[in-house]
Amino acid sequence: MNLLFFKDILRILLKGVEMNKSDIVKIGVVILVLLFLVEPISRGFLVSGPQETPVQETQDQYSGFAVLNVTIDYYERVLYVSAINSSFTDKLNSDERVDSVELVEGFYQINLKKREDVRPLFNEFKSAGLVPFTNAKVILPEEVNLYDEKGNKITAFFANRKIKIPTIPIVPEGSTVGMNVNVWIFGQDAYINPEVQPQFITETKMVQLQGTILESEKSEIYIVPWEERNEVDIEKLSEEYGEGEVDYSLKNSIRFPVPLSPQQQVAGKYDYVEYISDSVAILSGDMVDKEKVLSDFGGDVIFDNSTLVIKTNATGIEYSKIETYTHSIELSSSEYELLSEIKNITAESENGYSTGETVSVGAEATMIGNTIAGISVLEIN
């Protein structure tokens, strides 16, 4: 079993999770472990039973890709990981769930006593910053359909319906998921091409989840007019409200609702213009004369306001403000399986909630079968 091909993939996976938020309600959870499920794995998958290329020259032969609904029958009692420190190794050796730990071709092979411990131990590895993989026994459907060059459907039946593929065990056993496979058809018999790695398919859908508010933090966002952006004294505000309680996003930009022509862009390179394109210009920080900018650019200009965020109740600030709340939310669902990474999220809204309060979370979810592998929160109510 050659496991060395996984090293580059695992290095990518170990970068972790990145999150993005909008000013009102937005959070993006990027689950990098999806790369294991939707990208080809160079190791090549294993097949239970004979799968050598059949030679039947008298029968019609076809090959092509097909999307199948397959069932994750079970995961093998083993996890593979690229590197673990000595303290983690000692922990594994004393773990009652672990039968043995071996070093195989540069990877640690962790043999478990029970299959039901594969996913819990996998989650523990992830919490420690590691992403191990295992082998899954996958059950194929009875038949597969391909289409020839004329659009005629060719139906064949799998000679062997159980295959074994390397993957990460984030989808529960018994789950039905979509899988893209390369198929050989010889007469009425179908075979999975052992040289092309099957890929699990993800889909995006809107979901409603339950959420419990763990903690809420109120922030006041002040809108600072473009021409007054240099008048905000951040150092003084930080002294008044505390270190880390004040954040200022200063914008020197202007935008053009009607795109500028190349000639207008050349003409618009005034001394105070540091960068210009058809839709935006970045001006020097000391340029605050709106009338001159409007005169130079013909009046059709949008001036980007700056934003001042104060996390505690502020007084004496005369800019218009928007109150926002940052919530720590524990998600749950009776309908979907959630990855551990997205069971606790942070999201923003204009509404305040009390600790322990139950909310409904509308989200755009990245699905693998019935498992939510990533979400972008759109609404909290």
Q: Are residues 116 and 184 in the same domain?
A: yes
| CA 126 to chain centroid | 15
Q: Encoding tokens for residue 205?
A: 């859908």
Q: Are residues 161 and 55 in the same domain?
A: yes
Q: Are residues 213 and 261 in the same domain?
A: no
- Looking at the chain, how many residues does it have? 381
pLDDT given at position 13:
35
Q: Are residues 286 and 174 in the same domain?
A: no
d(CA 304, CA 279): 13
d(CA 84, CA 86): 7
Among 305, 332, 347, identify where a domain stops.
Answer: 305
Among 245, 278, 305, identify where a domain stops.
Answer: 305
Q: Are residues 343 and 250 in the same domain?
A: no
The CA distances from residue 226 to 48, 279, 289, 291, 376, in Å, are 67, 17, 10, 12, 31
Q: Are residues 207 and 348 in the same domain?
A: yes
Q: Are residues 78 and 147 in the same domain?
A: yes
Among 255, 277, 305, identify where a domain stops.
Answer: 305
pLDDT given at position 83:
78
Q: Are residues 101 and 187 in the same domain?
A: yes
Contact criterion met (CB below 8 Å) for 136 and 165? yes
pLDDT given at position 59:
60
Q: In which domain, by residue range, is 262 found? A: 229-305
DSSP 256: -
pLDDT given at position 49:
37
Q: Are residues 210 and 327 in the same domain?
A: yes
Number of domains in the chain: 3
* Amino acid identity for residue 235 in this structure: E
Q: Are residues 165 and 107 in the same domain?
A: yes
Segments of 250-343 assigned E as strands: 253-255, 273-276, 280-283, 302-303, 306-310, 320-332, 337-338
Phi-psi region of 38 (alpha: psi -120 to 50; beta: other; left: phi over 0): alpha
pTM above 0.85, yes or no: no
pLDDT given at position 90:
82
Q: Are residues 223 and 233 in the same domain?
A: no
pLDDT given at position 37:
54
Q: Are residues 179 and 215 in the same domain?
A: no
Give me the tens of pLDDT residue by residue for the chain, a chain 381 residues long.
Answer: 333 333 333 333 333 333 333 333 333 333 344 545 554 444 434 443 334 444 444 467 899 999 999 999 999 999 999 877 777 778 888 899 999 999 888 889 999 999 999 999 998 888 888 889 999 999 999 999 998 888 889 999 998 899 999 899 989 999 999 999 999 999 899 999 988 888 889 999 999 999 999 999 888 999 999 999 999 999 999 999 998 899 999 999 999 999 999 999 999 999 999 999 999 999 999 999 999 999 999 888 999 999 999 988 788 888 998 888 999 999 999 999 998 888 999 998 888 999 999 999 999 999 999 999 888 888 998
φ, ψ for residue 246 (rounded to 5)? -125, 135
